[in-house]
Amino acid sequence: MKNFFRIFSLAILGILTQACNNSDNSQGKKSGALASNVAERVYVAPGEHDEFYAFLSGGYSGNLLVYGLPSGRMFKEIPVFSQFPTNGYGYSEETTPMLNTSHGFIPWGDAHHPDISQTNGETDGRWVFINENNTPRIARISLETFETEEIIEIPHSAGNHSSSFVTENTEYVVAGTRFSVPYPQKDMPIEEMKGNFKGPLTFIAVDDKGGMSIDFQLKMPGFNYDLSHPGRGDSHGWFFFTTYNTEEAHTMQEVNASQNDKDFIAAVNWKKIQEYVKNGGGKEIDAEYAHNVFDHKTHNATSTMKKKVLTVDPREVEGAVFFMPTPKSPHGCDVDPSGEYIIGNGKLSTDLTVHSFSKMIKAIENEDFEGEAYDIPILSFESTLGGTVKEGGLGPLHTEFDGKGNAYTTFFISSEVVKWKLGTWEVLDRQPAYYSVGHNMIPGGNSRKPDGKYMISMNKITKDRYLPTGPELEHSAQLYDISGDKMELLLDFPTHGEPHYAAAIRADKVKPNSRKIYRLDENEHKYAATSEDETKMVREGNEVHVYMTTVRSHFSPDNLEGIKVGDKVYFHVTNLEQDFDVPHGFAMIGANTSELLIMPGQTKTITWEPKREGIWPFYCTDFCSALHQEMQGYVRVSSKNAKVPLKWTLDGE
Amino acid sequence: MKNVIKSVVLFATLLILSSCGNSEKKDNIRLEDYNESSQQTEKQDTDKAPSSEKEETSTEDALSNKGIGPVKNLELPEGINSDMASSGADVFKKLCSACHKMDKKFVGPQLAGVTERRSPEWIMNMILNPTEMIKKDPIAKKLLIESNMAVMANQGLSEEETRSILEYFRQYDQEN
């Protein structure tokens, strides 16, 4: 009996100890002082908020992902260039125009380089821009609604890769061409590429409300314009683009585009060209491109097809464009916070080439040219060279800055991040990345004022970093603490799609502006029912429009009759809630489309073409309340020739 | 020795129990709170004649309950401000009528006579601060049960809009 009692007490003690540990995880696993210290630095306690918002490109998912740093927690996937059945983006009547292009509706895109809008060279938290590489487009995402508000197609371009970077007052967002093409497009033999293809660089003006319009397109030689960054500080007014394939090879580029020892960084004085264009310079040519805008008042997107674009021949604007020779097919083109140094990350090299802006200006004044490419002056290599980072690693790709005089470069082949000093070019530290790092990102690391506390690396290969999930793995990112002399790896976290780049900002610049609801009294949707007595059904031939409302926990109407086989039914659903985080869903059995997820005060529409007679249910897909399971309704579908009148009721009324 | 071990074990158990207790949140909603109040309601119902709305407390008690929220004390004038009442009717139609009708119980309780059953402060606090009200206020908690756990939604109204709805209710009750 005594033994029994003792065992019983021990058992209880065990249970209690376990129960306690659950609520006290921070002190749970201690595998040494260092490990616990690292854990604390990325630990954001339940209910507390991260210090930074990070926006990671979703790569071939076409979307933008919102993360918190330092926790590495994902908060949201924002659909941009791809259909998103989760909330109906690209399926609902209101949002399908967002994915319209000159090629028609395209359900997918390849998102690449997010960049946050800037004011005076600092990230300002208004918008994120992101480029689509495959069918060239630039999107603007609002950081008030965290929704895609605008997409503009880039005509005459292909492989829209050296985008979507913004100038220091968001005067322009740029879009460069990575696959040179005939300009404008025409039928011609591929082997006649050399000299006949072009690589247009497009400058898109951004107005005070974010509205984008193409100001001009710079008709550059047919090289591959790979990446770019704006000048800042003294170099504000310039934009820098790396090029490769200056060989202009059209086949087996893997070998043929790597013949020249040096390609170029193109320095573009956009202020000069802006002036030139303002004074009537440039030539308007035919083009066809879609401009899609979402309006939060009508809750509708419109797509407008544009027919003209202004093209500028760089040779006609004196002193506007120069080439700086840069070794080994440079990839990343990064500008330090002062604007003095332009880093060419020669991806087939071990070294980094750093150009000096002030030297470049002197070389231009002194006409220190070593030749011309298609009549564009090539500055002599020595004249602009600010320094070389020697033996940094293998295959440098991208560089970011901490605002304390240091730069951080990723090396793809040797799979590491390397810290070096601006000015002395000495390597200070190196840390492995797991594995094959592409981009890295420091919050504000592409601005005048970086927050040099954390850096993330976005790695192309995942292998064994997580529990295996079959042959296909999500890419991996790593968080480093860069506040000390040495970088410290703190955390691994999985990403979605392939994050080509990211941009991050202090949470306090964004958080207070985040929208909670859409106001019902501002809802100008043509088919909105903003109260239950506005609900109705209207027949126009074989189209039936249902003006429906949702509120916890019913649809109005919830019994619909008079629909016939062969009808096309438009469900226009308005969410009458006005409280934060109370969306309702709408799903219709057999509808050949997605669900709708409707935010408070919003109206969204999907269509349904019933094929069989019967009584067909619909329901709310988002667990909204204790009575969510009751949130459902029925549609009666009669035969084609039936005489059943339209009838819509809720609770018999 | 056995006793020593036993008392050590017990002592440790107590320690752990007490440390666990500290982490418990005070403002958690407990289902039994709701069950108690609903049971009480049922008991009283069997005693009383059925009324249009089940009252746990007397009307006088209910009228002295000001609820929980931003409206602490409200002096009402004698007459009705009809402009205010009509703008209140408009807001009510747009943001409340999906769940509330004046003349019948719908999702929420019937609203005719509400100004005779509840204090003006309670009415406004229920509109302005429903989430806290249905957790803490005894009348609101009871009404939640009666409404099948359909929560009162926060429709994000301003105090001014809420006051106008109250005026609409006063007008309705005077005229009917």
> pLDDT confidence of B15, banded at 50, 70, 90?
very low
- Note the pLDDT tens digit of each residue in A406-456: 999 999 999 999 999 999 999 999 999 999 999 999 999 999 999 999 999
Domain-ending residue, one of A513, A543, A570: A513
The verdict on a CB contact (< 8 Å) between B153 and A23 is no
Domain-ending residue, one of A459, A484, A513: A513
Using an 8 Å CB-CB cutoff, list residues of chain A that contact chain B.
2, 5-6, 9-10, 12-13, 16-17, 19-20, 23-24, 517, 520-521, 530-533, 549, 551-554, 556, 576-579, 582, 625-627, 651
Helix (H) or strand (E) holding A412: none
Tell me the average pLDDT across A401-407.
97
Structural domains of chain A, count = 2
Residues of A in contact with B153 (CB under 8 A): 551-552, 577-579, 582
φ, ψ (nearest 5 deg) of residue A290: -90, 145
Output the DSSP codes for A211-271. -EEEEEEE--BS-EEEEEEE--GGGTTEEEEEEE-TT---S-HHHHTT-SSEEEEEEEEHH
What's the gap in Å between the CA of B154 and the closest CA on chain A?
A: 5
Task: Give pLDDT, residue A579.
Answer: 95
- Shared domain for A613 and A587, answered yes or no, is yes
A33, part of any domain: no
Residues of A in contact with B148 (CB under 8 A): 626-627
Where does residue B23 rank: exposed (0-12), middle (13-18), buried (19+ CB within 10 A)? exposed
Number of Cβ pairs < 8 A linking chain A and chain B: 81
Round to whole Å and give the CA distance between A587 and A620: 7
The verdict on a CB contact (< 8 Å) between B2 and A6 is yes
Round to whole Å and give the CA distance between A176 and A220: 10
Which pairs from A605-608 meet CB under 8 Å and 24+ separation?
A605/A92, A605/A93, A605/A94, A605/A527, A605/A570, A605/A571, A605/A572, A605/A573, A606/A88, A606/A91, A606/A92, A606/A93, A606/A570, A606/A571, A607/A93, A607/A568, A607/A569, A607/A570, A607/A571, A608/A568, A608/A569, A608/A571
**B12 has pLDDT over 60:** no
Tell me the average pLDDT across B56-68.
82
- Shared domain for A211 and A313, answered yes or no, is yes
Amino acid at the residue A286: D
- Shared domain for A503 and A632, answered yes or no, is no
CB-CB contact of A200 with A217 (8 Å): yes
- Shared domain for A476 and A552, answered yes or no, is no
- Shared domain for A484 and A528, answered yes or no, is no
- Shared domain for A158 and A300, answered yes or no, is yes
The verdict on a CB contact (< 8 Å) between B16 and A17 is yes
Dihedral of alpha carbons A12, A18, A22, A24, sign: positive
Round to whole Å and give the CA distance between A490 and A43: 10
Using an 8 Å CB-CB cutoff, list residues of chain B that contact chain A.
2, 5-6, 9-10, 12-13, 16-17, 19-20, 23, 93-95, 97-99, 106-107, 148-151, 153-157
A21, part of any domain: no
A241, part of any domain: yes
Round to whole Å and give the CA distance between A495 and A502: 11
Q: What is the ipTM of this complex?
A: 0.75
What's the gap in Å between the CA of A524 and the closest CA on chain B?
A: 14
A18, part of any domain: no
Domain-ending residue, one of A480, A513, A546: A513
Indicate the average pLDDT of chain A.
94
DSSP 8-state assignment for residue B153: P
- Shared domain for A354 and A374, answered yes or no, is yes
Closest CB to B98 among A532, A579, A625: A532
DSSP 8-state assignment for residue A281: -
The pairing of beta strand A212-218 with beta strand A300-312: parallel
The CATH number given to B31-175 is 1.10.760.10
A259, part of any domain: yes
Residue numbers of the domain that contains A349: 52-513
Task: Give pLDDT, residue A37.
Answer: 87
CB-CB contact of A164 with A138 (8 Å): yes
Tell me the average pLDDT across A365-370.
98
- Note the pLDDT tens digit of each residue in A19-66: 444 443 444 344 445 566 899 999 999 999 999 999 999 999 999 999
- Shared domain for A509 and A526, answered yes or no, is no
CATH code assigned at A284: 2.130.10.10
> pLDDT confidence of B57, banded at 50, 70, 90?
low
- Shared domain for A503 and A608, answered yes or no, is no
- Cα nearest neighbour of B158 on chain A: A578
Residue to mutate among A5, A627, A629, A650, with most B CBs inside 10 A, is A627
Indicate the average pLDDT of chain B.
79
CB-CB contact of A317 with A281 (8 Å): yes
CATH code assigned at A550: 2.60.40.420
Task: Give pLDDT, residue A307.
Answer: 98
A17, part of any domain: no
The helix/strand/coil state of B73 is: coil
Q: Which residue has the higher pLDDT, A321 or A11?
A: A321
A443, part of any domain: yes
Task: Give pLDDT, residue A3.
Answer: 53
What's the gap in Å between the CA of B140 and the closest CA on chain A?
A: 16
Q: Taking the mean position of all CA atoms in its chain, how far away is CA A258?
A: 30
Tell me the average pLDDT across A578-595.
97
**B151 has pLDDT over 80:** yes
> pLDDT confidence of B58, banded at 50, 70, 90?
confident
CB atoms within 10 A of CB A424: 11
Helix (H) or strand (E) holding A66: strand A64-69
CB-CB contact of A352 with A386 (8 Å): no
A13, part of any domain: no
- Shared domain for A473 and A524, answered yes or no, is no
